[in-house]
Amino acid sequence: MKLGDLGEDRLLEQLLARPLSGKAIVMGSGDDCAVVEAQDCGELLVLKTDCVVEGVHFLRGTNAFDVGWKAMMRPLSDFAATSAVPQFALITLMAPKQTEVTWVKKLYLGLRRAAERFEISIVGGETSSTPGSIAISTSVVGFVERERWVSRRGGKAGDDLFVTGRLGGALKQKHLCFIPRIAESRWLTKNFSIHAMMDLSDGLGTDLPRLARASNVAFKIHVEKLPLARGVKINNAISEGEDYELLFAISQRQRKGLQKEWKRKFPKLPLTQIGSLVPQSAIRTLQLRRGYVHFQQPS
């Protein structure tokens, strides 16, 4: 069987299926970040790696600054999902020998500017030549308070589902210059009890079922309520991906307080209740509207 015949989720599941060895792993692979107990540390250690590859995540002609920005911001969006504070980054650059040094310098400027935006130190790097295409791998390390870290797993039937910002249309521009919702996430976990959270990188239609599956619940969405980016159709908003917005589950009782305080704190950023989590037993009775084939209820 070829790698292309397996989805990434299934591949990682298979490869990492065996129980991880004796360290104190609070949350390993399968969530946005790895969260671990580190000896001698008061807070939980949070780790995330990601990569952007020429021909997959960006095209040859793309501005190198934008590529660097994206390479740093993608793993930071996972920190937002975990409500963790990123602190240190390591960069591995694989590039052909004939790559222009000016291109690489612009790339690092993008990486640096993105890191500075969140006061992250780029503490190490490695470069290698490659006979293939340019690839940048970014690993980020940070911390989260025990009482504030969030995973995809804590959603409860009855919870409201919220998304930040607007969905869809990201591939046109935003995916190269987005700002991860770390400030918003940290504010949420400081002021509210967030049951489950993730960032929307593959599209609501792919990501929401992941959150539901991890929480052992199903979901109900008011598709007509989805906050669409300008000129975007509902189907595109569900399936396109690269929104890098937050999706989270919170007790219904907190809805009014959250909506009121959010408006005061982030007046320019929409916060939309798009539906709710429901018991898995409710799936069969749900009237799923046709057309939204990309939503797969957890099986």
Interaction residues for a second copy, span 18-37 (CB under 8 A): 18, 20-23, 25, 28-29, 33-34, 36
Strand 135-144 versus strand 271-278 pairing type? unpaired
With contact defined as beta carbons under 8 Å apart, do 218 and 160 qualify? no
Residue 5 contacts a second copy per CB under 8 A: yes
Site track for a second copy across 44-83, x = CB under 8 A? -x-xxxxxxxxxxx--------------------------
Interacting positions 183-202 with a second copy (CB under 8 A): none
Answer yes or no whether residue 270 interacts with a second copy by CB under 8 A: no
> In this structure, are strands 121-129 and 85-95 parallel, antiparallel, or unpaired?
parallel
Q: What is the SS3 assignment for 136-160?
A: EEEEEEEEECCCCCCCCCCCCCCCE
Q: Are 37 and 47 in contact (CB under 8 A)?
A: no
Please tell me the distance from the alpha carbon of residue 40 to that of residue 46, in angstroms, as a whole number: 15
Handedness of CA 116, 118, 124, 127 (dihedral sign): negative
Hey, how many other C-beta atoms are within 10 angstroms of the C-beta on 140? 26
Site residue total, a second copy (CB under 8 A): 81
In the three-class reduction of DSSP (H, G, I as helix; E, B as strand; rest coil), residue 228 is classed as: strand
Interaction of residue 92 with a second copy, rule CB under 8 A: yes
- Between residues 160 and 207, which has the closer beta carbon with respect to a second copy? 207
Q: For the segment 110-149, give every residue that binds a second copy (CB under 8 A).
A: 112, 115-116, 119-133, 135, 137, 139, 141, 143
Min separation Cβ 116 and a second copy, Å: 6
CA distance 99 to 246: 36
Q: Is 287 in the site for a second copy (CB under 8 A)?
A: no
For residue 127, the cross-strand partners are 93
Q: Does 104 bind a second copy (CB under 8 A)?
A: yes
What is the footprint of a second copy within residues 155-184 (CB under 8 A)?
A: none
Task: Kindly tell me which residue out of 71, 72, 94, 247 binds a second copy, with binding defined by CB under 8 A.
Answer: 94
Q: Which is nearer to a second copy, 108 or 187 (CB)?
A: 108
Shortest separation between residue 295's beta carbon and a second copy, angstroms: 24
Residue 102: other Cβ atoms inside 10 A:
9
CB of 113 to a second copy, least distance (A): 11
DSSP run (H or E) holding 126:
strand 121-129
| Contact between 232 and a second copy per CB under 8 A | no
Q: How far is the CB of 284 from a second copy (least distance, A)?
A: 34
